[in-house]
Amino acid sequence: YSMMVLLPVEGKKTDDILDILDKDSFENWNNSIQPIEAELFIPKFKIEYKALLNDALSDMGMEIAFTERADFTRLFEENYGLMISRVIHKAVIEVNEEGTEAAAVTGVEVSLTSLPPEKPVLTLNRPFIFFIKEKHTGAILFAGKLSNPE
């Protein structure tokens, strides 16, 4: 797993990036990344997201599953009168001195080490956007925006 951070240049906002962020721009940025050795200062943060997905799933065509008309006989031999009452989604991302934890999965471990002073210094002390990706497939597992890194 890896963490990608988009830090707007001074004078720009994260929303300026989000306004132009699409599949193509993300792939262009991702493909243009050049590895460098740098000293990184990233704030500790924890973001939690919880949502009831009943309405979203109903809008996507699953409305019957939330009613008495639900038919789960392909899962069970008899129809027990089952229906879905709630679908809840919760995500937690925490970044601290020990690394990054996303939900129950440990992702990128970030450790601050002593680096020579001639290396660039990147301090995430203003709002930024982040992505946690699986390295082999490039699949984005989590994405977020930290509005107040202080």
Instruction: Please write the tens of the pLDDT for every residue from 65-112.
Output: 777 777 767 765 655 566 777 777 788 888 888 887 776 332 222 222
Task: Determine the Cα–Cα distance for residues 70 and 59; give it in Å rounded to an integer.
Answer: 16
pLDDT surpasses 70 at 49: yes
Nearest to 46 by CA among 146, 113, 136: 146
3-state secondary structure of 100: strand
pLDDT (average), residues 109-123: 44
Report pLDDT for 78.
59
* pLDDT attached to residue 118: 56
0.75 exceeded by the pTM?
Answer: no
pLDDT digits (tens, 9 = 90+) for 11-25: 889 899 899 888 898
The proportion of the chain whose per-residue pLDDT surpasses 90, expressed as a percent, equals 1
Residues 17 and 6: beta-carbon distance below 8 Å: yes
